[in-house]
Structure 1
């Protein structure tokens, strides 16, 4: 769906960048227009363009001004057409070609640095402008820096970042490549306001604004049954960018959750051929090769394809731990007609880990006394433990352009996930004595999700507005079986023996339903949202989602049953434009989210409920090359899973009510010529029902920042740095289990030998800081983060 932008009077939007001519085909001299003198740009000169998305006419105006030429055209025929902007290095002709591709227009030079737009042939005028622009926006290969338009699938209503009444963070492909953010957890460690809680070697949780993130989307398709836990080291090879929509997001992602929604935007087939090959080697014998090839598959370009591959293998700073990942993805896009596009895709992710641990190093003994470890490499993972994950994902997307800005989309996604693991867990340390639990599990889950969406503009009371309607359905079925030691699976061990390595116990399958799962989840919803232009500078965003959910089956011997029917999650927000560069906003939403953890009574927990409010200001500097956001938020939430006990093969949770409030500051884009950055500060405080500070494993203060700079005297060279700082954290129940405030510094240097070859060196944890990765959910176990390490990489771009 095209982005929505408030139309400005022509004199405000274009003067003096564009002088619009209403008469097509009339010689320029005959118009009698006085053109402002601007220096002409040599056609062969390459310039760096950082032009944000917007209406096509406004983007063309900014391109002409940046290029130093004059452009004359009639903006009326371009009304309603949007453009993803232009990011990267282009000649004048290349820039015009990319911006006008599929528009039905061509450019011509009139001399003296003056250019004019002319209507092309009737065939060119039917070349599906939105389809081509969309492919470029989500899958282009240009160097786009650290500021990229948020995907239209993230905000659901097709809003720009400025017009969305919530804070948004976009992690671009450039940032991923610069700082080697190859996995989901590494990328989200760079996102302001997100805390990555790596609780084990192969399981990770994420929090934002103090609460768990459980909304993960792929091109805007919510995965409502995915828990808050990420299993394995899932790779980002097939994704172009990652958008984080901060705060409650029930309208956009299926259930209202006060933390954030994370949207992984797929790479898409491109209209032009592009390819990139990469290889790297790093500390602990880590090695990686990857390839990304895209382009037209037919002469007409109506069939386009993309293939992505990555192989990643290596060891770790942790004793006995290593990994191997293989990723392959293929996508094909078909232009079925001038109005219809079909995109099909398949991906295979294999993530195998050896030396895995279930739980981590015990941080306290049975009396609550803290335990300390001199070696950061200490691990309870064994030579025989492993955790293998195999994920297959297939998707199809059909879009139809009804004309007049209306577009329909049908999307379906199927996921099959298989897990196999041999695990070892210890607890109850008393001196050197401890208790161990050995477990082998095998599980398989099938998931199917479909969505239909219709969106477009309409007029009411003489103003233009935008409407989105949709429906979604999802179903998942999961089966799991375990084998354990005879009886209950527990046996005596020692802490020192576990650290040095213990032999594999003899495990056998059990038919005890207390160690099996077989259940089905179903969700269906209807949603509607609209953006109303109340007056020229005031916009109202309003919508609601009606959700029905049910679950049935057995999980670890307990009934897996929940039912919610017709639960409505309303959402509303206001955006007021102070000027073309600055906007104030406020939003409110209800929180409702089914839970799939078990309470102390052995039943599924009641749904999360509450409300969330947010207000802030957004702006742009330096012709919008630098974006700024300041936001305050407040959340009330009931029935939150808090303290837990381990019973048999599962955790049982008590619940409590929480209130949180905080502040977020964020800046992204080009601060100075050649200086790209993303930085953010977050303050959050969470209180329980008694008004006492709670969830102290979440840092109250955190700072994230990364920046790169191209040396002005040596443009082939680039240097960069990354900072991660957070205040101290502790266990709510035992303050002696804590991690003091710490800062991590990473640096990089890269050099482009020519337009094809490039090399880069990354140094991480430059100061070699020792720190615990997480104390998530008041954990009494944890692992240490990686010490100083390095990665050397080389890439070839065709």
Structure 2
């Protein structure tokens, strides 16, 4: 049987030297750009980085960013409800995202809706602090979303998917030259997805469109402009989730399909993402780039929350909380930089220097419904038929603006044969004004410095050791005893590692040991004389330490593998165990095997395992355990997925994905939502079949 046509490896412009991962068919990336805006190889980056390539996403049907990050080393995806997600790494919330290396300031510490992966070539996750290139945030990780770009030759694909719970999905992708000369190129990606769920009443509909044009204005000048829009409309979403314990402290155990949502509730999210880039090659190997980037998120919802603790005998004790919610965030980022080589004391070094400016406006409004506090039937009798009420029982919300201006410079110094140092500094000016639900968001900082330092030593042609020190900061609004604003909350990351390459760079491995700290966390320290106003002091916060291991690449000509393991120990300033909802041990393993003797057949598996987690939930109020602390526990578990891919004819492929084949029942997250953690169960066994045509 003849093999299907594959996309050609193309150099799409003189300025872009890195081969997109969609053209390599490999799990191994050629370079990363997240840490320094330089194209750095695996061993040239003095921090741990995971890259999920297009091949990995396609093999295991990772159609949204949540599924990708679940497979990234050391990252946990905290789904506290169906349409709002938190991410953690090294014990801290991930709040830093980039698009093609351009940092985006965080507005909230969560993501609403599902961000589809159809637009992206690969996703890079740089772990630890990365304030040099992203500005303010947490010392957790930076997620860099690398968009697909146009090609000179015409390429096209269509993928149609059908699956469990009436899932239907289609994605088309067309790229090629617009002008006969090849100097103007375009690409369009469009998709639609409609699916129901194992959860009662829940369904989701997504529509995606991405268009991008590239033009060679001269032999050395490249102009790129693109726009993407995605809508995610959900019926009967979870707002909050299931109660995890009864009043006597015993654990609940509902059917996986159980949902607290009403039949009228919805949660619609729309994202607009626009950008313009201008790249200019300069003399002496230098280049300059300027980017204007706009991101707008709109959320419109009517939601139904159930609060309270059920009685273990009657199941009663839950109460209604209907609310209407709207959110709009508009973010503008302007980033310009230049990078290139320079000579000093007989060695050639590299420099990047730039300026960035951003403005983020956030407006949201909660309109509370009538009937808050109404008693509800037990969940095993609940059918979502609570009447829709008027949302005129009070209003609250937010309206604030963040502005950030920064300059940054970084250099790679070749100190001697095999020895490289990386140094950098970012200086940031930040102003915020407004309030959120009655609390001020107003703060201002001038010239906050964020250093970066790394040292890399090549042991030989295949192995390098490295050490790095990185920082990041988070603005604070609290005042000290002198009514001065507290200094920013500092995040610091120390890291030592060994990186290796095997089989002519087709296999990458990483061993990283880290310690991550937060300093100057605001703590209430008293009240001003003659007032009830609280003043604060800065204290040490959380500290995490651990180890991360990763191997990725082509073990043989027939086997591709990704394996990651992370251990993290998280403590508070007093040395007590903290954030017990984050697993101490987390492991991922996925791989594919081209079956010999059957041309075009590829088999694969994916396993995600985590150790036990727990969360303190308050005190039991009834039964023999009354007065004792309630602890919710989720035992260690593994989720196993299988895949089979077959080239059925020239240009045609069919891929079958079967997820959670052992039908493991587990709670998605124990992260607290309010005063106690609620939760819901992960997907039971399910399957999908994707048929693709590639030209």
- TM-score, normalised to structure 2's length? 0.91
**Residue 237 and residue 208 in structure 1: after superposition, are their counterparts in 2 closer, same or farther (change >3 A)?**
same
Q: Secondary structure at the match of 2:219?
A: coil
Correspondent of 1:227 among 96, 108, 115: 108
Match of 2:658 in 1: 763
CA offset digits 1:388-437 (Å, max 9, x no partner): 00111110000100121111000011122211011111222242122221
Task: Say whether 1:428 aligns with 2:311.
Answer: no
Q: Secondary structure at the match of 1:288?
A: strand
**Residue 584 and residue 728 in structure 1: after superposition, are their counterparts in 2 closer, same or farther (change >3 A)?**
same
Q: How far apart are residue 497 of structure 1 and its match?
A: 7.4
Match of 1:743 in 2: 638
Quick one: distance in 2 between partners of 1:523 and 1:568? 13
Match of 1:372 in 2: 252
Quick one: distance in 2 between partners of 1:218 and 1:306? 17
**Residue 154 and residue 691 in structure 1: after superposition, are their counterparts in 2 closer, same or farther (change >3 A)?**
closer
Quick one: distance in 1 between partners of 2:554 and 2:690? 25
Quick one: distance in 2 between partners of 1:164 and 1:732? 39
The 5 Å alignment of 1:593-608 reads: 593-594=474-475, 607-608=488-489
Quick one: distance in 1 between partners of 2:302 and 2:190? 28
Match of 2:278 in 1: 398
Quick one: distance in 2 between partners of 1:596 and 1:204? 25
Correspondent of 1:701 among 585, 595, 602: 585
Match of 2:389 in 1: 506
Match of 2:528 in 1: none
Answer yes or no: is the 8 Å Cα contact 2:3–2:600 preserved in 1: no
Q: How far apart are residue 257 of structure 1 and its match?
A: 2.9
Task: Say whether 1:163 aligns with 2:44.
Answer: yes
The 5 Å alignment of 1:181-196 reads: 181-196=62-77
- TM-score, normalised to structure 1's length? 0.79
Q: Secondary structure at the match of 2:66?
A: helix
**Residue 498 and residue 453 in structure 1: after superposition, are their counterparts in 2 closer, same or farther (change >3 A)?**
farther
Task: Say whether 1:381 aligns with 2:264.
Answer: no
Quick one: distance in 2 between partners of 1:564 and 1:498? 54
Answer yes or no: is the 8 Å Cα contact 1:440–1:507 preserved in 2: no
Correspondent of 1:685 among 556, 569, 574: 569
Quick one: distance in 2 between partners of 1:765 and 1:642? 43
Task: Say whether 1:791 aligns with 2:674.
Answer: no
Answer yes or no: is the 8 Å Cα contact 2:523–2:539 preserved in 1: yes
Quick one: distance in 1 between partners of 2:445 and 2:205? 41
**Residue 535 and residue 580 in structure 1: after superposition, are their counterparts in 2 closer, same or farther (change >3 A)?**
same
Quick one: distance in 2 between partners of 1:665 and 1:614? 13
Quick one: distance in 2 between partners of 1:526 and 1:244? 23
Quick one: distance in 2 between partners of 1:47 and 1:387? 44
Q: How far apart are residue 606 of structure 1 and its match?
A: 7.1
Match of 1:647 in 2: none
679-688 or 249-258: bigger deviation: 249-258
**Residue 416 and residue 591 in structure 1: after superposition, are their counterparts in 2 closer, same or farther (change >3 A)?**
closer
> What are the ranges of 5 or more consecutive residues in structure 2 without an aligned counterpart?
525-537, 618-628
Answer yes or no: is the 8 Å Cα contact 1:626–1:668 preserved in 2: yes
Q: Secondary structure at the match of 1:175?
A: helix
Q: How far apart are residue 258 of structure 1 and its match?
A: 1.8
Q: Secondary structure at the match of 2:132?
A: helix
Quick one: distance in 2 between partners of 1:153 and 1:595? 26
Quick one: distance in 2 between partners of 1:667 and 1:735? 40
Q: Secondary structure at the match of 1:174?
A: helix
Once superposed, what is the RMSD of the aligned Cα atoms?
2.6
Answer yes or no: is the 8 Å Cα contact 1:397–1:409 preserved in 2: yes
The 5 Å alignment of 1:569-584 reads: 569-584=450-465
Match of 1:517 in 2: 398
Quick one: distance in 1 between partners of 2:299 and 2:521? 28
Quick one: distance in 2 between partners of 1:494 and 1:548? 53
Quick one: distance in 2 between partners of 1:524 and 1:498? 55
CA offset digits 1:757-795 (Å, max 9, x no partner): 000111000100000000114852000000000001100
The 5 Å alignment of 1:642-653 reads: none
The 5 Å alignment of 1:350-361 reads: 350-361=231-242
Quick one: distance in 2 between partners of 1:253 and 1:185? 21
The 5 Å alignment of 1:435-584 reads: 435-486=319-370, 489-496=372-379, 499-509=382-392, 512=395, 515-584=396-465
Quick one: distance in 2 between partners of 1:357 and 1:374? 15
Match of 1:249 in 2: 130
Task: Say whether 1:676 aligns with 2:560.
Answer: yes
Q: How far apart are residue 639 of structure 1 and its match?
A: 5.6
Answer yes or no: is the 8 Å Cα contact 1:642–1:656 preserved in 2: no
Correspondent of 2:290 among 395, 410, 416: 410
Q: How far apart are residue 263 of structure 1 and its match?
A: 0.2
Q: Secondary structure at the match of 1:667?
A: strand
> What are the ranges of 5 or more consecutive residues in structure 1 without an aligned counterpart?
1-45, 49-87, 103-127, 644-653
Q: How far apart are residue 463 of structure 1 and its match?
A: 0.3
671-680 or 456-465: bigger deviation: 671-680
